[in-house]
Amino acid sequence: MGKSHKKSRASRARLNPIGSGRNEQSKDDGLVKKKLQPLLEKLHSAVPNDRAMALGSTSVLCEDSYMRKLLLKERLVQIVLSKLLNDNNTDIVVESFGLLRNIALEEGYDVSTQLWRADIWMSIDQGFCKLLESLSGLQSGEGQAVKNSGESRRLLFDYADNLLSLVVALANGSDDILRQVLERAKLERLFEVIIGLLQYGVTKLPVAVLNTVLDLLYDFSSESFQFIEAVANNEYLATFVRSLPDQMNTPGFNELTKVLIQGVYLQFLDMDITFQQANDIIHAVCDSVKGIDLEQVNKDLSVVCHDEELIKSKDSQVAQKIKHYTVARSNAMMKLQSIEISIDLITSIIEMIASLSEEKKRPLPNSLLETLMVYLPQIFDSLSRQFTSRILIAWNNLLWLYLTLEINFFDLEGEPYKNLWEFVYSVKEEEIDIKLGKLSVVWVLLKTITMQSDPNAWLSTLQLNNDMNFVNSTIENYNKDMNNSDISREDAIELGQRYCGILSTYATFQNQIQINEIIGKFILEQLCSPNLPAMLLADYTNSLFEIYGDENFDYNQPVFVQNNFLDILRTKVVPNLKSQFKLVDKNKDPLIKERCTETFNTLDSFIQYKKNELAE
C-alpha cells in the first residue's frame, strides 16, 4: 500500500506569490543589490532595534521560495549562525531559531545537513539549558514580577517552541540526523525538556507549545521504533502518552492538538490496535476538524486579499490590520495542518486494518465496515480538490483494503467510483506526490476491474476498453519520467513500479490482443536494459509471469508464441538480469538481493514451463 507523508508542516501552506516568474539573472542581481544586501547588512547593525526589524523582514521574505533561494545564496544561514544565535538580545535569539526552523522545513536535506555540520546541536543544547533554568524560575516564583511578566513568559515559550520544532525539522531533513538525535545523550536531553514543559502544566502551557511537544512525539514515533521503546521505558512520558485520549475535550485545545493526540495515541498502539479502536480514531480525528471552514482558511492565507484590504485602509489602521492578518494567518495554517495530519492518520489506519484483518482472519465489525464503505468515501470526496496528493494515497490504501476484504468498490452505495474516476482523470500532475498518487489509484482501479464478472464492460464504463491512446501515453510518460534528471532515483523507482503495475494489469484483459503485444514488447525492452534499477527489473520480470502464465489467455498464442518471446527471454533477458542482479550488494541491500535471486529462479522455472507448454 502507499504511504502518505506524515504531514506537511504549516509553513508549507504559506501562499505568497512574491517574485513569481522572475528567472532572469539580471533581475536577480538587481533585487539582491538593491533590497537583500542592505537588509542583510542591517543584521550586523550595532543597534538592536535595527537588527530585530531586519530579522523580522528577512523571516517574512523567506516564506517565499524565490526570495528564500536568493537569501540563501547571500549566506543567510551563515550570518544567523555566526551573529544572531549569540546575540545579546533574547528576542533576536528566539526569532533566529524560528527562522532556521522555517528554512530547514522548507529546504529539507541541504539546509538541515548544513546546520547539523555547523554543530547547531550545541546551540540548541545551550538553548535548552537556558530554557530549563528559566522554566524552573517560573515554576518556583522567584523574581515574580520579572519572570512572570506576560512578555517574559511569551518569550520563554516562544523559545521552547522554536528549539523543539527546529529539532523536528532537522530530523525530518535527514535520516542520519534523526539517527543521531535518537542517540542516548541527545534523546535524554530532549526528554528532560519535554518533561520539564509538561510538568509545568499541560493546561498552563500555550497551546502552540503543547502542539510542538505532541508533534515531536508523533513525528519521531512515526519514524522510529527505537523512539517508541524509549518513551515506553520512561515512566513519566509513558504515563502521559497513555493519558492522552482522556484529554481530548480539555478546554483550550485546538483542532491540531486533538488531531495530534490521536496521532500519538495511534503510533503507540501500532499493531496492538483493535478494529474498534481503529474506528474510534478515524471518527475522532474527523470530528476534530469537521468544523473547519476551508473557504475562510483559504481567505486568511491569501496574500492578495490582505493586500487589497490594506490598500483601502486608513494609515492609522494599517498596523492593527497587519497584526490581525498575522494572527488569522497563523490560525489558518494550524487548521490546514490539522486536516493534513488527519488524512495521514486515516491513511495509516487503513493500512493497519489491512494487516490486522489478514492476521486475525475474522470479519470486521459492521460499524467499521460502514466507516470504510460509506463514511470515508464521502470524506475523501469532500477534501480531494484541496488535499489532492494525500487523498489519492488515502484512496489507494482504501481500494487495496477493499480487495483484501473482498468488498466490491463498484457496488458501493452512491457509486463513489464515478466521482473518484472523474477526480483522477482531471488531476494535474504538477508535483511528484500527485503523480505517484494518481498512478497508484489507476493501478488499483484496474486491479478492481479484473475482479468483476465482466471486466471489459467496466473498462468500457471508464472508457478504457481497447484504448490504444491510454497505453501509448502511459509508456510515453514512463519514458519521460525515467529520463528526467530532476526526478530522484528513489522517486523514479516508485514511479516505475506504478507504471509497471498499470501496464501489466491492463495487459491481462482479454480481447485486447494488440494492446497486449505493445505492452509485452515494452516489458521485454525494459528487461534488456542495462540501466534499469534492479528493483524495477524484478517487478517487470514478475509481471511477465502474471501476464503470460496461462496458455489459455487469448493473447498467449498470437503474442507470446508468434513473437518468439521465449527466445528473447533465454537469449537476451536472462543474461542481462544475471549481470544486473550480480551488482546488488547483499550486505547493503539484503531484501533487494533476496528478491532478485527469487525472481531469477522463478524466471528459470517460467522459461521451462513455457518451453514444455510449446512442446505439447
Helices (H), 270-415: 275-289, 294-301, 303-312, 315-360, 366-370, 376-383, 388-405
pTM reported for the whole predicted model: 0.87
Distance CA 352, CA 175 (A): 24
Contacts of 404 (CB under 8 A, 6+ apart): 354, 357, 358
Asked if 58 and 76 touch (Cβ cutoff 8 Å), the reply is yes
Amino acid at 472: N
DSSP string, 344-362: HHHHHHHHHHHHHHHHH-S
What is the number of helices (H) and of strands (E) in the chain? 33, 0
Q: With 70 as the cut, is the pLDDT of residue 148 above it? A: no
Amino acid at 389: S
CA angle, 585 then 587 then 591, to 5°: 80
The SS3 assignment for 427 reads coil
Q: pLDDT category, 468, cuts 50, 70, 90?
A: very high
Distance CA 540, CA 19 (A): 44
Q: With 70 as the cut, is the pLDDT of residue 28 above it? A: no
Average pLDDT (58-63) is: 86
- Would you state the pLDDT for residue 140? 76
Distance CA 600, CA 252 (A): 60
Q: Report the percentage of the chain scoring pLDDT > 70.
A: 89
- Would you state the pLDDT for residue 328? 81
Q: With 90 as the cut, is the pLDDT of residue 18 above it? A: no
Ramachandran bin of 8, using left for φ above 0, alpha for ψ from -120 to 50, beta for the remaining angles: beta
Average pLDDT (72-92) is: 91
Q: pLDDT category, 367, cuts 50, 70, 90?
A: very high
DSSP string, 457-474: HHHHHTT-TT-HHHHHHH
The CA distances from residue 507 to 387, 447, 458, 515, 536, in Å, are: 32, 11, 15, 7, 18
DSSP string, 161-199: HHHHHHHHHHHHH-HHHHHHHTSHHHHHHHHHHHHHHHH
Which is it for the CA torsion 302, 304, 305, 311, positive or negative? positive
Which is it for the CA torsion 565, 571, 577, 578, positive or negative? positive
Cα torsion 40, 41, 45, 48 to 10°: value is -20
Q: In the 8-state DSSP scheme, what is residue 270?
A: G
- Would you state the pLDDT for residue 228? 94
- Would you state the pLDDT for residue 473? 96
| pLDDT (tens digit per residue) in 238-266 | 999 999 999 998 998 999 999 999 999 99
Distance CA 481, CA 424 (A): 19
- Would you state the pLDDT for residue 7? 38
- Would you state the pLDDT for residue 301? 82
| pLDDT (tens digit per residue) in 470-486 | 999 999 999 999 999 99
- Which is more confidently placed, 300 or 279? 279
Asked if 479 and 526 touch (Cβ cutoff 8 Å), the reply is no
Distance CA 110, CA 128 (A): 25
Closest CA to 38 of 71, 64, 68, 66: 71
Distance CA 584, CA 593 (A): 6
Distance CA 578, CA 581 (A): 5
Asked if 336 and 13 touch (Cβ cutoff 8 Å), the reply is yes
User: Hey, what's the cell of 22?
Assistant: 522572475
Asked if 342 and 4 touch (Cβ cutoff 8 Å), the reply is no
Q: With 50 as the cut, is the pLDDT of residue 151 above it? A: yes
Q: pLDDT category, 303, cuts 50, 70, 90?
A: low
Give the CA count within 13 Å in the CB-facing half-sphere of 368: 23
Q: pLDDT category, 302, cuts 50, 70, 90?
A: confident
- Which is more confidently placed, 176 or 303? 176
Distance CA 382, CA 290 (A): 11
Residue 572's H or E segment, with its range, is: none
Range with lowest mean pLDDT among 42-56, 500-514, 578-592: 42-56
Distance CA 475, CA 462 (A): 19
Distance CA 347, CA 282 (A): 10
Distance CA 609, CA 45 (A): 79
Q: Report the percentage of the chain scoring pLDDT > 90.
A: 73
Asked if 181 and 167 touch (Cβ cutoff 8 Å), the reply is yes
Distance CA 180, CA 459 (A): 51
- CB count, 10 Å around CB of 246? 9
User: Hey, what's the cell of 90?
Assistant: 533574547
Average pLDDT (315-333) is: 69
Average pLDDT (461-465) is: 95
Distance CA 85, CA 250 (A): 36
Asked if 168 and 217 touch (Cβ cutoff 8 Å), the reply is no
Mean confidence (pLDDT) of the chain: 89
Q: With 90 as the cut, is the pLDDT of residue 34 above it? A: no
Q: With 50 as the cut, is the pLDDT of residue 32 above it? A: yes
- Would you state the pLDDT for residue 48? 87
Find where cell 525515467 sits.
Answer: 482
